[in-house]
A and B are shown apart, each in its own frame.
Chain A
Amino acid sequence: MQPFTTLEGIAAPIDEANVDTNQLCPTRFNKVPRGPKYAEILFYDQRIDTDGKRTDFLLNQSPYDQSRLIVADSNFGCGSSRETAVYALYEFGIRCVIAPSFGDIFDANCAKNGLLTVALPVATCAALRAMLHETPGMAFAVDLASQTVTDGRGGVHRFEISPIRKRCLLNGFDDISRTQEYRAAIDAFEAGHRAAHPWMFR
């Protein structure tokens, strides 16, 4: 996983609540092996029609086609567990999504792929989106170490993140390697669990 330390780039506002993972990656593209092709898959059914890229879709417009951040509304990434939704965001170039809340599974999937989710209050997210509509192409800066987002007018917004997620993102740690450090504890647990509940093991 690529480490996430700091980020500076264009932020795109997405105003609708409940953006589901089917929208981020329509189901039929789940067959696609992970790779650069996912850049085009992001929001495919809204971005692309039979005539090609729809100019009325924000992420097709310059400068938003260079976006690195998204500022969204509540429950972003709800629905299906498909990690391809994260692949699509990542390959498009998005490294950080700011929203009042996220789908739980999507949120976990982002953390495993070096994409930072930042939860800020509903009113803050609404104000940030309004700011981005007023000044298209505005850049935001994110500093994970200090847990801050700095908007294009210099406003600093501090966010919470679990210590372990922060450490993994900052270092690009591979989850499985981290878990292997607990191999002895896992083995001991499994032996006790098996002895106490033998019917659980076939």
Chain B
Amino acid sequence: MSASPAGTARTLFRKLWESHHIVTDEGESLLYIDRALAQENTYHAFVALEAQGRPVLRPDQIYAFTDHYVPTTGRAQGLAGIPVAEIRNMVVQLQDFARKYGINLYGIDHAQQGIMHIVPPELGIVQPGLALIGNDSHTSTHGAFGCLSYGVGASEFAHVMATQTLWQTLPSTLRIRVDGRLGFGVAAKDLILAIIATIGADGATDHAIEYAGSAIAALSMEARMTVCNMSIEAGGRAGMVAPDETTFAYLEGRECSPRGAAWERALDFWRTLPGDPGAAFDREVVLDASLIAPTVTWGVSPAHALPIDTAVPDPSHAGNAKQQGEWASAIEYMGLQPGMALTDIPVDRVFIGSCTNARIEDLRAAAEVARLGKARVPAWVVPGSQTVRRQAEAEGLDRIFIDAGFEWRDPGCSLCTAINGDQLEPGERCVSTSNRNFRNRQGPGGRTHLASPAMAAAAAIKGRLVDVRTLIG
């Protein structure tokens, strides 16, 4: 499918798709990819490329980030600060491949090192109208800028490095319209958890999502990134928000943003991207923002999310036998009792970080709560990038956290993906601002409750799940 007929009202997605479409072959479209984001695990793609003897076609359009395997303490020592050889080697391999091919590298010692979904926006590498891919499912984050942004596996990443293109079949479109205003103490994380609970963990499979409505328009860029980040948790490979004045204001003056006449020209183009009035979507879901409460997960799927003032579901009340089995199995893994109030769940650990919630706004929200008490359980704050870390320290947020007994650590994926050595012990229960509460995700036997930064900080100072609104009211 190439161009829409003249006069057809087009969605944002359709405009992005058509402006990157090269050819169609038996129902698959070849799309031009403007930028690609790599991380340490991308070594599988480099190895595959080298096995085929192929070069990297456009190394200046590829960006490599050290985030999944870097330690969150002892960073002054650089590579030598990674004690486990296999983990250190992952960072070394990526840095070596990046240097060998002349790829843009944000290595472990780089002043702007950080998570691949946090650094590119803050440097202006992500812009409206681009098509970009990342070797990570949370690449959907960047759709917050009104670009087409897909997570891909190693083979597709290798394909992009060799050809600067990607084969895709045209997905269906889903508009998620959220009108009204988010209530006091309710954050973007609560909004996206509520969306996933509404449409299900596969509710957007084979769909490109566009988030719209007055509640979305009112969100900051950081909040929009939190929402788009978790599109994949609803099955959507891409999620996006139409670019607007909030987007442009965020981008102006950033290191890689266009400047001068180029900025004006880019702005003119970006203003053409929002969907045309009357453009049709294959599906639409509508939510009322004012009805959303602070939300946490109780089970092992991001769709197992409920308002904090409710209870662990009772499998005997499930709608069908399949759901009954799913709930019972999740409750057993999580070590909970059916019907217990969510606010009666004690916690062992708290993690504030990840590509979902480690931006400056997230840390500000967590600090506002942390200053109200002392952490009763080990609580980590892991900023998403060195830039976020410096900004937070300039604002004194690190002192607030440290004074409240939280640990202030160095940037990386840390306890979200639990591969750098940061992980839960079997049976440990963690309130986490990350994106996945899958079994064993934060370490074998670990138990995860997803929540917003403010809710996570509240859990830290109470030692249990708590409604943050009761603390800050």
A residues in contact (CB < 8 Å) with B: 15-18, 20, 22-23, 26-28, 30-31, 33-34, 45, 73-75, 78-84, 86, 101-106, 108-109, 112-113, 162-165, 167, 174-176, 179-180, 182, 185-186, 189-190, 193, 197-202
Stretch at the interface among B9-17, B199-207, B212-220: B199-207
Do B440 and A45 have beta carbons less than 8 Å apart?
yes
CB of B470 within 8 A of chain A?
Answer: no
Do A23 and B301 have beta carbons less than 8 Å apart?
no
CB contact under 8 A between A103 and B235, given known A16-B326, A23-B439, A162-B27? yes
Q: Could you tell me the distance between the alpha carbons of A198 and B263 in the complex, rounded to whole angstroms?
A: 11
Chain A residues whose CB sits within 8 angstroms of the CB of B322 once the complex forms: 17, 73
CB contact under 8 A between A101 and B32, given known A164-B27, A200-B127? no
Q: A31 to nearest B CB, angstroms?
A: 5
Do A78 and B155 have beta carbons less than 8 Å apart?
no
Chain B residues whose CB sits within 8 angstroms of the CB of A179 once the complex forms: 30, 159, 162-163, 165, 167
Q: Could you tell me the distance between the alpha carbons of A84 and B155 in the complex, rounded to whole angstroms?
A: 11
CB of B80 within 8 A of chain A?
Answer: no
CB of B343 within 8 A of chain A?
Answer: no
Q: Could you tell me the distance between the alpha carbons of A47 and B206 in the complex, rounded to whole angstroms?
A: 31
CB of B164 within 8 A of chain A?
Answer: yes
Q: A147 to nearest B CB, angstroms?
A: 15
Residue among B135, B158, B440 making CB contact with A81, cutoff 8 Å: B135
Q: Could you tell me the distance between the alpha carbons of A73 and B20 in the complex, rounded to whole angstroms?
A: 35
- Please, which residue of chain A has its CB at the minimum distance from the CB of B156? A108
Chain A residues whose CB sits within 8 angstroms of the CB of B44 once the complex forms: 34, 83-84
Provide 15 A-B residue pairs closer than 8 Å at the C-beta atoms, listed in order of the A residue. A15-B325, A18-B202, A20-B436, A27-B419, A31-B89, A79-B232, A81-B136, A81-B153, A102-B205, A103-B205, A105-B232, A108-B152, A164-B167, A176-B162, A186-B165
Q: Report the count of interface residues on B (CB-CB < 8 A).
A: 72
CB of B265 within 8 A of chain A?
Answer: yes
Do B301 and A202 have beta carbons less than 8 Å apart?
no
Not counting A18-B201, A109-B154, A176-B162, a sample of 14 additional A-B residue pairs whose C-beta atoms are within 8 angstroms of each other reads A17-B322, A20-B436, A22-B439, A22-B440, A22-B441, A75-B235, A78-B235, A105-B151, A109-B153, A162-B169, A182-B22, A185-B22, A186-B163, A200-B130
